[in-house]
Amino acid sequence: MADSPEAIRKSLRLYKLIGGVLFVGTIITVAVAKVPWLDVGHHGFDTADMILGLAIATVKASLVAAIFMHLNHEKRLIYWLFGFGIVAAFFLVALIGLAKSDPIHYNGFQDGVPGSETAK
């Protein structure tokens, strides 16, 4: 924590800098989504645009977590818990993908939509 006026001013400068970076990151994200000459990949929204947008969002979220939530001053246990949460989220998304690719259809349900039974 800041103990002196100089340390408080230094912290305020850092917060303002990170706030500016977050603002510019938001502008870049919107520009990538809306400005045609910044469109990566094929014309319109596609996988490349999604990956670029998620990369920018990841950088912004990391800055918020590290600076504004003060995680850059935490002990190692916090990083282990954070890492476990990321791994758990990855596996949960993978489980959703496995469920969507399941070739078995139950009781006339096809693709999870009731009433889509085939005519007999």
Digit-coded pLDDT (tens) for 59-105: 999 899 888 888 777 788 877 888 898 899 999 988 888 877 777 76
Candidate ranges 33-37, 50-54, 61-65, 76-80; pick with highest mean pLDDT: 61-65
Structure-token pair, residue 69: 């939530």
Tokens of 107: 């009781």
- Find tokens 């990949």 and name the residue: 41
